[in-house]
Structure 1
Amino acid sequence: MSSAERAEPAEAIRTELAAAYAHGPGKAVRAPRWTAPPVRNRRAHSVGLSRLADIPLLGPALVRTLTAALAPRRWEPWNMYNDHRAYPSARSAYLVDATLRLGADRRPIDPVRLLLEGAEPLPDPSTVTSAAIELTVDPGRLPDGYGTLRDALALLEAGHLGGALVEAGLAAGLAAQARARGAGGASGVVTEVTLSHGTAVTWSWERVVAARSSALSPLGLSADPRPLPAEILQRLIRDSRPPEGSLAGPSGAHGLRHRLAVRGVTGVRDGLYALDEGGLVLIQPGRVTERIQSAFGLGPGDVDVAGMNVVWVITADIGAVLRGQGPDGYPNTLMSAGATAQHVCSAAAAAGLFCRPVRSFDEPAVEATVQADPGEDLVYMLLIGRPRALDFCYDLTSPEDPTWP
Structure 2
Amino acid sequence: MTDPMRTALATAYAHGPGKSIQASNRTVRPDRYRAAHSVALGSLADIPDFGPALVRTLTAALAPHRWEPWNPHNDHRAYPSPRCVYLTDAALRLGEHRWPIDPVRLLLEGERRLPDPSTVTSATVELTVEPHRLSDGYGTLRDALALLEAGHLSSALVEAGRANGLAVHASPQVGGGGSGVVAEVTIRHSTAVTWPWQQVSAARSSALGPRGLSADPRPLPAGVLQRLLQDSRPPTGSLAGRRGGGALRHRLAVRGVTGFTDGLYELGEGGLMALRPGQATQGIQSAFRFGPADIDVTGMNVVWVISADVDDVIRGQGPDGYTNALLSAGAAAQHVCSAAAAAGLFCRPVRSLDEPATEAAVQADIGEDIVYMLLVGRPRAQDFCYDLTDPEEPTWQ
- Structure 2 counterpart SS, 1:306: coil
Bigger Cα displacement from structure 2, 69-78 vs 184-193: 184-193
Distance 2:124 2:84 in 1: 25
Q: CA contact under 8 A between 1:216 and 1:388: conserved in structure 2?
A: no
Q: CA contact under 8 A between 1:207 and 1:350: conserved in structure 2?
A: yes
Distance 1:135 1:403 in 2: 29
In the other structure, the counterpart of 2:115 is 123
CA shift for structure 1 position 360: 1.3
Distance 1:360 1:226 in 2: 27
Q: 1:54 aligns with which of 46, 50, 56?
A: 46
Is 1:185 the counterpart of 2:177? The answer is yes
In the other structure, the counterpart of 2:145 is 153
- Structure 2 counterpart SS, 1:98: strand
Aligned length: 384
Q: 1:210 aligns with which of 202, 205, 208?
A: 202
- Structure 1 counterpart SS, 2:348: strand
Q: CA contact under 8 A between 1:209 and 1:404: conserved in structure 2?
A: no
- Structure 1 counterpart SS, 2:226: helix
5+ residue gaps in structure 1? 1-6, 28-38
Please list every run of at least 4 consecutive aligned residues from structure 1 whose deviation after the TM superposition is greater than 2 angstroms: 22-27, 41-44, 399-405
Spell out the pairing of 1:1-12 with structure 2 (5 A cutoff). 10-12=2-4
- C-alpha deviations, 1:72-104, integer Å up to 9, x for none? 000000111000000000000000000000111
Is 1:363 the counterpart of 2:355? The answer is yes
Q: CA contact under 8 A between 2:244 and 2:267: conserved in structure 1?
A: no
Q: CA contact under 8 A between 1:263 and 1:307: conserved in structure 2?
A: yes
Is 1:264 the counterpart of 2:256? The answer is yes
- Structure 1 counterpart SS, 2:169: strand
Is 1:43 the counterpart of 2:57? The answer is no
Is 1:278 the counterpart of 2:270? The answer is yes
Distance 2:334 2:79 in 1: 7
Q: For 1:224, give the aligned amino acid.
A: D
Bigger Cα displacement from structure 2, 248-257 vs 146-155: 248-257
Q: 1:291 aligns with which of 278, 283, 294?
A: 283
Q: 1:97 aligns with which of 86, 89, 104?
A: 89
CA-atom RMSD in angstroms: 1.7
Is 1:236 the counterpart of 2:228? The answer is yes
CA shift for structure 1 position 254: 3.3
Q: 1:226 aligns with which of 195, 210, 218?
A: 218
Distance 1:15 1:372 in 2: 24
Change in 2 beyond 3 A, CA 1:380/1:403: farther
Spell out the pairing of 1:163-182 with structure 2 (5 A cutoff). 163-182=155-174
Distance 1:18 1:224 in 2: 40
- Structure 2 counterpart SS, 1:301: coil
- Give TM-score scaled by structure 2 length: 0.94
Q: CA contact under 8 A between 1:26 and 1:149: conserved in structure 2?
A: no
Distance 1:217 1:401 in 2: 29
In the other structure, the counterpart of 1:84 is 76
5+ residue gaps in structure 2? 20-32
Q: Percent identity?
A: 73
In the other structure, the counterpart of 1:342 is 334
- Structure 2 counterpart SS, 1:175: strand
Is 1:392 the counterpart of 2:381? The answer is no
Q: 2:8 aligns with which of 9, 16, 20?
A: 16
Distance 1:188 1:196 in 2: 24
Q: CA contact under 8 A between 1:254 and 1:333: conserved in structure 2?
A: no
- Structure 1 counterpart SS, 2:356: helix
Q: For 1:318, give the aligned amino acid.
A: V
Bigger Cα displacement from structure 2, 302-311 vs 253-262: 253-262
Change in 2 beyond 3 A, CA 1:286/1:385: same
CA shift for structure 1 position 185: 3.3
